[in-house]
Amino acid sequence: MREAFAFLMLLAATAAPASPAEAAELPPGRAAELERLVLQDCGSCHGLTMKGGLGSDLRPESLAGKPVEVLTEIVLDGVPGTPMPPWRPLLSEDEARWIANYLLNGGAQ
Amino acid sequence: MIRTLAFCLLSLAVLASAGALRAGELRATGDLGVIVERASGALLIIDQSDHAAIGRVEGLGDLSHASVVFSPDERFAYVFGRDGGLSKVDLLTQRVAKRVLQSGNAIGGAISDDGRLVAVSNYEPGGVRVFDAGTLEMVADIPTGSKTIGLVDAPGRRFVFTLWDAGETWVADFSEGEPEVTRPAITRIEGIGTNPYDALITADGRHYIAGLFGEDGLTAIDLWQSPLTPRRILSGYGRGEAPLPVYKMPHLEGWALAGERFVLPAVGRHEVLWVDTRSLEETGRTKTHGQPVFAVARPDGRQVWVNFAHPLNDTVEVIDTPSGEVIHTLKPGPAVLHMEFTARGHEVWVSVRDAGRVDIYDTRSFEKLGEIAAETPSGIFFTARAHRTGL
């Protein structure tokens, strides 16, 4: 419940419109690594199938309509007060945006 | 004609499961174990002394956070899958004997001391469901309105579990009457703390300890006391310092007892915390390589093996219990997810998810003794768990 509320606050606070997702350029091989990260490590909490667990449901039908920049920020800065950690120490903004797009487009399915 | 057909079918069956028992063959179960292949929905069956896989059982659904308990005769493994699947696997015939989909999202399970009941901890719907261990028919549904974690068995046909959202621990007592027709007696203990994320019970079934995510501290309940009273331990262990990001939650298991102390993972600090079992006071800390996920005492308690969360998860540290010092570091490979000791601790098996193998180490010399190929291996469970409370 708190997580949903924090998410809504983040949504309200962000002015960015839901622009079409732009694929960030990644070094060769990095995309495959990020894909593995999403499946296996994000999957620790969000489930290998992204259906959720300790973390929320990340399937495209659940994320539909969420702006890519909002998701990118959540990946980078986490959701304080919940188990969602900030990945900024480990990921660049481009990589976080790639993950956001990947999830929005159902890449993990 | 019928006999020829039967013979053909038998041959096919034998070929299909080469490790399964053939007519007249004997195999003991004390040496067996399972390795969860988390992305394949399969269980590898292994023989400990052979250091080998002897079979694979498929069709177990989403095993992305699977755990396993064993029947008292060590014949059956009950597999709790992420998708709410509860599967009873026959280790000797290497088949799924029974399977039910009992919830939308489950996190773990337990088996009662007498082996009659299997309980599953559900995120969705939040609560615990209890099943007959033989038939997998549901005998009790305990809704909690909260994600449940830290489900363990306790002596006297009891289950103990904790509510992530509400910060309560419940004890479900099935000892009176027949479980199929008698509702359990439920005791609710409030004030466990903010967002307990996991819990352990000691092998004597006495101490239940819940780790907290939402605050610095853990909560211990002495199950020998009456009334059951929560006691905060290690309060403020973060010392007011900003916590480090936690990319994977620590896990608490009954192996936390080493000598006269508990060794517990800190949350948001790269440390394990030592707690005296009688006073429940902190006695010290050991700095570790990363965020501990599992801190597992060797069965004799003389060493504690620790693995870590992403991204420092290629490393295992070995802590000497008396001195609290890291005495050895291993680098088994990318993504070390789990460690399992043989019953008396002479070996430890370590899953290396991204290298597709399970490594076997001698716990005295730290020498690598062998390895077993496995697809994205996660949890490793040996049948000796059948005879221990809380595992």
The structure tokens listed for B236 are 């403020």
**How many CB atoms neighbour CB A15 within 10 A?**
7
Are the C-beta atoms of residues B378 and B38 closer than 8 Å to each other? yes
The Cα of A44 is separated from the nearest Cα of chain B by a number of Å equal to 7
Q: Please give the radius of gyration of chain A, using alpha carbons only, rounded to the nearest integer.
A: 13
Q: Is B344 exposed, middle or buried, given 0-12, 13-18 or 19+ CB atoms closer than 10 A?
A: exposed
Contact B249 A54 (CB under 8 A): yes
Output the CA angle A76-A82-B237, nearest 5 degrees.
105
- What lies within 8 Å, CB to CB, of B225 at 6+ separation is none
Chain A residue at shortest CA distance from B353: A40
Arithmetic mean of pLDDT, B42-63: 96
Contact B335 A86 (CB under 8 A): no
Residue B246: list chain A partners with CB under 8 A. Answer: 83, 85
Q: Which of A36, A43, A81 sits opposite B64 (nearest CB)?
A: A43
High-pLDDT (> 70) share of chain B, %: 95
Are the C-beta atoms of residues B309 and B243 closer than 8 Å to each other? no
Q: Which of A41, A48, A86 sits opposite B62 (nearest CB)?
A: A48
- What lies within 8 Å, CB to CB, of B102 at 6+ separation is B84, B85, B86, B120, B122, B129, B131, B138
For position B145, what pLDDT does the model report? Answer: 93
Measured distance CA(B165)–CA(B104) in Å, rounded: 18
Residue B165: list chain A partners with CB under 8 A. Answer: 1
pLDDT in tens, A4-43: 555 555 555 454 444 444 555 788 899 999 999 999 899 9
Number of H helices, E strands in chain A: 6, 0
Arithmetic mean of pLDDT, B202-213: 95
- What lies within 8 Å, CB to CB, of B68 at 6+ separation is B34, B36, B43, B77, B78, B79, B80, B379, B381, B385
Contact A85 B105 (CB under 8 A): no
For position B94, what pLDDT does the model report? Answer: 97
A55 has a pLDDT exceeding 80: yes
Contact B62 A83 (CB under 8 A): no
Contact B105 A90 (CB under 8 A): no
- Whether the link from the prior residue into B245 is cis, omega within 30° of 0, is no
Assign B25 a pLDDT band (cuts: 50, 70, 90): confident
State whether residue B38 sits within 8 Å of chain A by CB: yes
Chain A residue at shortest CA distance from B244: A85
Is the complex ipTM more than 0.90? no
Measured distance CA(A47)–CA(A50) in Å, rounded: 5
Assign B15 a pLDDT band (cuts: 50, 70, 90): very low
Q: Which of A36, A47, A85 sits opposite B64 (nearest CB)?
A: A47
Arithmetic mean of pLDDT, B370-374: 98
Arithmetic mean of pLDDT, B144-154: 95
List the alpha helices (DSSP H) in A1-109.
2-13, 30-36, 43-46, 60-63, 68-77, 93-104
pTM given for the model: 0.90
Contacts by A39-42, CB closer than 8 A, 24 or more apart: A39/A108, A39/B39, A40/B39, A40/B335, A40/B353, A40/B354, A40/B376, A41/B247, A41/B248, A41/B310, A42/A99
Give the residues across from B358 on adjacent strands. Answer: B351, B372
Q: Please give the radius of gyration of chain B, using alpha carbons only, rounded to the nearest integer.
A: 21
pLDDT in tens, A56-82: 999 999 999 999 999 999 999 999 989
Arithmetic mean of pLDDT, B207-225: 96
For position A8, what pLDDT does the model report? Answer: 58
For position B39, what pLDDT does the model report? Answer: 86
Contact B123 A54 (CB under 8 A): yes
Are the C-beta atoms of residues B78 and B69 closer than 8 Å to each other? yes
Arithmetic mean of pLDDT, B40-60: 97
- What lies within 8 Å, CB to CB, of B44 at 6+ separation is B34, B35, B37, B53, B55, B56, B372, B374, B377
The alpha carbon of residue A86 and the mean position of all alpha carbons in its chain are separated, in whole angstroms, by: 11
Contact B311 A85 (CB under 8 A): no
Q: Which of A48, A79, A90 to mutate to test the interface with B (most CBs of B within 10 A)?
A: A48
Measured distance CA(B391)–CA(B388) in Å, rounded: 6
Name the residue among B257, B331, B339 with its Cα closest to residue B294.
B339
pLDDT in tens, B54-99: 999 999 998 988 999 999 999 999 999 988 999 999 999 999 999 9
Measured distance CA(B183)–CA(B172) in Å, rounded: 9
Assign B125 a pLDDT band (cuts: 50, 70, 90): confident
Q: Which of B82, B165, B213 sits opposite A53 (nearest CB)?
A: B82
Sheet containing B117-124, strands listed edge to edge, beginning at the edge strand earlier in sequence: B105-111, B117-124, B127-132, B138-143
- What lies within 8 Å, CB to CB, of B386 at 6+ separation is B69, B70, B71, B72, B73, B74
Chain A residue at shortest CA distance from B312: A90
> A24 or B354: which carries more pLDDT confidence?
B354
B264 has a pLDDT exceeding 60: yes
Q: Give the pairing type, strands B316-320 and B325-330.
A: antiparallel
Measured distance CA(B189)–CA(B193) in Å, rounded: 11
Arithmetic mean of pLDDT, B228-234: 97
CA dihedral B371, B372, B375, B376 (to 10 degrees): -40
Give the residues across from B201 on adjacent strands. Answer: B208
Residue A48: list chain B partners with CB under 8 A. Answer: 38-39, 62, 64, 82
- What lies within 8 Å, CB to CB, of B374 at 6+ separation is B35, B37, B44, B53, B351, B356, B357, B358
Give the residues across from B160 on adjacent strands. Answer: B152, B171
Per-chain mean pLDDT for chain B: 93
For position B14, what pLDDT does the model report? Answer: 45
**A42: three-class secondary structure by DSSP:** helix
For position A20, what pLDDT does the model report? Answer: 44
For position B123, what pLDDT does the model report? Answer: 85
For position A48, what pLDDT does the model report? Answer: 86
